[in-house]
Amino acid sequence: MALRDVPNPVAAQTAHELPALRYDFAALEPNIDAQTMQIHHDKHHGAYVTNLNAALDKHPDLKSKSVEDLLHSLNSIPEDIRTAVRNNGGGHANHTMFWNIMSPKGGGTPTGEIAQVINQFGGFEQFKEKFNDNGVKRFGSGWTWLVHTSAGKFDLVSTANQDSPYIDGNFPVMGNDVWEHAYYLKYQNRRADYLKAWWNVVNWDEINRRLKQGR
């Protein structure tokens, strides 16, 4: 075999990929409309994946790392791509979680271990109120989260833009996207209405799986 025909093991590494939805774009109607889902998944999340891969092309040795590992060790990422990894890697990780914790058969009262965690916040209604309030009060774009902290506790927080809880050493158990592109076609400026409706599609089974993973 000629030298030029020898495969490059770095170039052959799998790029980050846009995950397929587990349900149809219209499956979360009427809470989240089909057009929003299609644009949000295909265009917005797709762009984060494309831009993340483009950044990592400049440092191929990082291609073998998961997006979670990249975000955990953000300060060690080369400075010339650190912002791109923060924004696009965060967008990729956040949205991959987001699609999976929603379901057309979701909603209702939380069950399993997550119900016990939620009770630490005074019960489900108080938990929703604080979670939603963090989303409403997040100025500009961002996310509202339930995280498992590096100290082993649970906390309700919000982050700006596509910043991921992984950056701060926390595990995102569940989160809701409060960027305008997540809700504006249906809810316009009524972010609070979107946050309230979102609970009708929450996939508690997946959140329980993530809870065990985070611990």
Average pLDDT, the chain: 93
- Per-residue pLDDT at 11 exceeds 80: no
Round the CA-based radius of gyration of the chain to a whole number and report it.
18
pLDDT digits (tens, 9 = 90+) for 68-112: 999 999 999 999 999 999 999 999 999 999 999 999 999 999 999
pLDDT digits (tens, 9 = 90+) for 167-179: 999 999 999 999 9
- Per-residue pLDDT at 157 exceeds 60: yes
Kindly report the backbone phi and psi dihedral angles of residue 184, in degrees, each rounded to the nearest multiple of 5, phi listed first: -70, -30
pLDDT band at 35 (very low <50, low <70, confident <90, very high): very high
Residues 139-156 have a mean pLDDT of 96
Residue 98: partners with Cβ closer than 8 Å, 6 or more residues away:
175, 176, 177
- Identify whether the C-beta of residue 189 lies closer than 8 Å to the C-beta of residue 211: no
pLDDT digits (tens, 9 = 90+) for 45-73: 999 999 999 999 999 999 999 999 999 99
**Sign, Cα dihedral of 66, 139, 51, 84:** negative
- Per-residue pLDDT at 8 exceeds 70: no
Q: What is the structure's pLDDT at 214?
A: 76
Could you give the C-alpha distances from 102 to 13, 21, 31, 156, 203, in angstroms and in order?
Answer: 30, 10, 11, 19, 5
Distance CA 128, CA 124 (A): 6
Nearest CA among 103, 109, 112, 111 for reference residue 201:
103
Distance CA 212, CA 161 (A): 27
For the chain, which domains are there? 113-214 (3.55.40.20)
Residues 180-209 have a mean pLDDT of 98
pLDDT digits (tens, 9 = 90+) for 122-143: 999 999 999 999 999 999 999 9
